[in-house]
């Protein structure tokens, strides 16, 4: 793997960066792709300050340039700013998180410093979800025009290809947010009650919400992320063939989420 490009700015202190102007944010889209990828992480703690519509629309426009199955382009993005709608989604988030934390966090999730920091950040987001300035709900349109019939079960490859089509666009959105210095993360928990979400967002039956990307100016800073060595997660010709294991031992992970 090539080494990460030298960051465009030196590592900043822990205090939040100043909120950029629209022009400053858009100019940051020239960030090298490798730098954006290797410093992207979930930013859950964000400030309540508004995010300009031009920045939001730029994120979504770049999201639209991702590929979709059969070039269907079935995306629909709901930008939620209304305090009442945000509070309804926040209520569902709290309900889902409370259920999850009672069981999974006690019995299934590993307990280490990095995980505890992540859980603390998620808890902050749960507690302040309605205060986040923008929630982008990524949806897919399902109907006869798209070659799909609502309520009809499709073979696994078709189901996987269809529902998976939203995530390349979401990753584009996350990378655009990262480049502009906008805090972003991905969550699905607020969508656990689909009927309630449809009612809140006035979604037709053929439009299905799949995830939410909260957007806001970070309370902290982006920085290098830690991941397992590539040789540890890559297998040749079948699971277990870790022929590249140990080749990148110098790339040891740290505790960044």
Q: What is the CATH number of the domain that holds 37?
A: 3.40.109.10
Are 140 and 236 part of one and the same domain?
no
Residues 6+ apart with CB under 8 A from 201: 78, 80, 85, 137, 209
Residue 2 lies in a domain: no
Are 96 and 206 part of one and the same domain?
yes
Residue that is written with structure tokens 């499709």 in the block: 154
Are 52 and 121 part of one and the same domain?
yes
Give me the phi and psi of 18, to 5 degrees please: -60, 145
pLDDT < 50: residue spans in the chain: 1-8, 10-11, 252-255
Residue 17 lies in a domain: no
Are 41 and 108 part of one and the same domain?
yes
Are 151 and 256 part of one and the same domain?
no
Are 54 and 77 part of one and the same domain?
yes
- Distance (Å, rounded) from C-alpha 242 to C-alpha 234? 6
Quick one: pLDDT at residue 17? 87
Overall domain count for the chain: 2
Residue 214 lies in a domain: yes
Residue 246 lies in a domain: yes
The DSSP secondary structure of the chain, one letter per residue, reads -PPPPPPSSPPP-SSPPPPPPHHHHHHGGGS-HHHHHHH------B--S---HHHHHHHHHHHTTS--GGG---EEEEEE--HHHHHHHHHHHHHHHHHHHHHHHHHTS--SHHHHHHHHHHHHHHHHGGGSSEEEEEEEE-SGGGT--TT----HHHHHHHHTTHHHHHHHHHHHHHHHT-EE--B-GGGSSHHHHHHHHT--TTEEEEEEEEEE-BSS---------HHHH--SSSTT--TTTTTTTT----S--
Length of the chain: 257
Are 217 and 236 part of one and the same domain?
no
Cα–Cα distance list, 219 to 11, 16, 42, 135 (Å):
16, 5, 12, 17
Are 39 and 157 part of one and the same domain?
yes
Are 127 and 253 part of one and the same domain?
no
pTM of the model: 0.85
Q: Alpha-carbon torsion 134, 18, 30, 252, what sign?
A: negative
Residue 200 lies in a domain: yes
- What percent of the chain lies above the pLDDT cut of 90? 66
The domain of 158 spans: 22-225
C-beta of residue 53 within 8 angstroms of C-beta of residue 26? no
Torsion of CA 194, 80, 201, 140, to 10 degrees: -60
């Amino acid at each position: 793997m090539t080494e990460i490009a030298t960051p465009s700015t030196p590592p900043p202190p822990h205090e939040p960066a100043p909120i950029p102007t629209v022009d400053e944010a858009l100019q940051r889209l020239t960030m090298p792709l490798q730098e954006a990828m290797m410093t992207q992480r979930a930013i859950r703690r964000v400030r309540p300050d508004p995010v300009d519509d031009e920045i939001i629309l730029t994120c979504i426009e770049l999201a639209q340039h991702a590929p979709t199955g059969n070039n269907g382009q079935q995306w629909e993005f709901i930008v939620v700013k209304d305090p009442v709608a945000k509070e309804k989604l926040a209520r569902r988030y709290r309900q889902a998180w409370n259920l999850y934390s009672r069981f999974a966090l006690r019995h299934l999730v590993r307990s280490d410093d990095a995980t505890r920091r992540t859980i603390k950040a998620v808890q902050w987001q749960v507690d302040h979800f309605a205060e986040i300035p923008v929630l982008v709900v990524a949806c897919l349109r399902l109907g006869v025009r798209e070659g799909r019939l609502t309520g009809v079960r499709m073979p696994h490859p078709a189901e996987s290809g269809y529902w998976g089509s939203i995530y390349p666009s979401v990753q584009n959105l996350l990378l655009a947010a990262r480049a502009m210095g906008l805090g972003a993360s991905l969550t699905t928990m607020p969508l656990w009650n689909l009927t309630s979400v449809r009612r809140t967002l006035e979604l037709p039956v053929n439009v299905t919400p799949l995830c939410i990307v909260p957007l806001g100016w970070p309370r902290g800073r982006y920085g290098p992320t830690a991941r397992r060595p590539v040789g540890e997660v890559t297998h040749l010709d079948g699971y277990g063939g870790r022929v590249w294991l140990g080749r990148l031992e110098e790339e040891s992970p740290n505790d960044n989420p």
